[in-house]
Chain A
Amino acid sequence: MKFDNNIPIYWQIIEIVKQRIMIQELKPGEMGPSVRALSVELGVTTNTIQRAYIELVREGLLIPYRGLGYRITEDTKRIDKLRKNYSEEKLDKLFEDLKKIGISKDDFHVLMQSYLDQLEEK
């Protein structure tokens, strides 16, 4: 896997795991991939994966089981919150970009509405 080497790689691994949880490739209550397996899959050392996992445990998305690995949280509220944060981040980014070309809050609202209407027509 090709990473952006300008930012810490474990940050990017945290994002990958979060996305896999959000798209339900990793389902609530299931065992997550082992540190070793993910290391070989993504082409980074186990240390880097471990570092990402520690952070994911801290955020409550992974539950460590001593000697067995990590389980994905069964707390679906937490996963919903993850999805909400992710969406908000994407919207933030979008709105920031649009603001730069002079789109106001009201314009944004109108744009979104007409965009959604168009989608429905298709």
Chain B
Amino acid sequence: MFTFENISKSYFRTTVLSDINLMVKPGMLIGLLGPNGAGKTSMLKLMLRYTKPLKGKMTWNQKPLSEESMKDIAGCLDFNPFPFWMRMVDVKEFYQYFFKNFDINRYQELVDYFKLDQKKKIVYCSKGTIAKIKLLFTLSRKAKLYLLDEPLEGLDIVARKKFLDVILETFHPECSMIISSHYVEELEQLFTDAIFLNEGKIILNANTETLRLDKQKSIDAIYMELFAPCGN
């Protein structure tokens, strides 16, 4: 279980997250939703320890978040993390060396499924292909918590459908997943929970089925209701 306790984060004088409290339990597949600049990527960056919070505490399985926790947490952010000279085969070796939970069979399965050329330098690949490669490496790790930042960005509709299938195959009740995305309508049937983030604050955090029951609306419609008046 991952927790945020009163987490705040700012860059220079700009507050990007204020007083975030959150519990991510096994079996949760959370949609992290909000307009541009709401703080979604900042939250995921903190969870992956790319940056440190200004205030508050994060824990993983009741222990403060540390290097040790990163064995269980796999994530990919919205930029190309691979050095310019690397091909997929190089990244594969790197992952095999650094991540004990890297599942080589699963990796191979996904390479075949997405029909990727492992010998091509990743920087020369298209935006969509890089997006696939990032996902593929992240989901090839047998992690307990997966963090995916805008995973559908740049993918065509067929690839998006394939990706949804891969997510479902990877997800199991003992793990958790957080997906930030603007493709609310396409993803909402996957989400067990939805977190709506605006201006660095969680404005709504609830089980998606409960929300549908209470509001008799889709998550997409609730999103529109919450954010359309903001002028985004």
Contacts and interface: CB of A to CB of B under 8 A. Distances in A.
Interface of A: 3, 5-10, 39-40, 43-48, 50-51
B63 interface: no
A47 B27 contact: yes
Centre residue among A3, A5, A9 by max chain B CB count within 10 A: A5
Contact of A45 (B168, B213, B216): B168
A67 to B, nearest CB: 14
Contacts of B218: 5-6
Nearest to B217: A6
Given A5-B188, A5-B218, A5-B220, 7 more contacts: A5-B189, A40-B169, A43-B165, A43-B168, A44-B168, A46-B173, A47-B27
Contacts of A8: 209, 212-213
Contact of B168 (A9, A10, A40): A40
Contacts of B2: none
Q: How large is the interface on B (under 10, 10 to 19, 20 to 34, 35 or more residues)?
A: 20 to 34
Contact of B212 (A6, A40, A46, A50): A6
B209 A10 contact: yes
Given A40-B168, A43-B164, A45-B168, A6 B216 contact: yes
24 contacts: A5-B189, A5-B218, A5-B220, A5-B221, A6-B212, A6-B217, A6-B221, A7-B213, A8-B209, A8-B212, A10-B209, A39-B168, A40-B165, A40-B168, A40-B169, A43-B189, A44-B189, A45-B29, A45-B168, A45-B171, A46-B171, A47-B27, A47-B192, A50-B173
B172 A46 contact: yes
Nearest to B168: A40
Contacts of B169: 40
A21 B212 CA distance: 26
Interface in B142-174: 164-165, 168-169, 171-173
A66 to B, nearest CB: 16
A37 B172 CA distance: 12
Nearest to B185: A5
B190 interface: yes
B94 to A, nearest CB: 30
A60 B212 CA distance: 26
Given A43-B168, A45-B168, A9 B173 contact: no
B16 interface: no
A50 to B, nearest CB: 8
A1 B175 CA distance: 24
Nearest to B28: A47
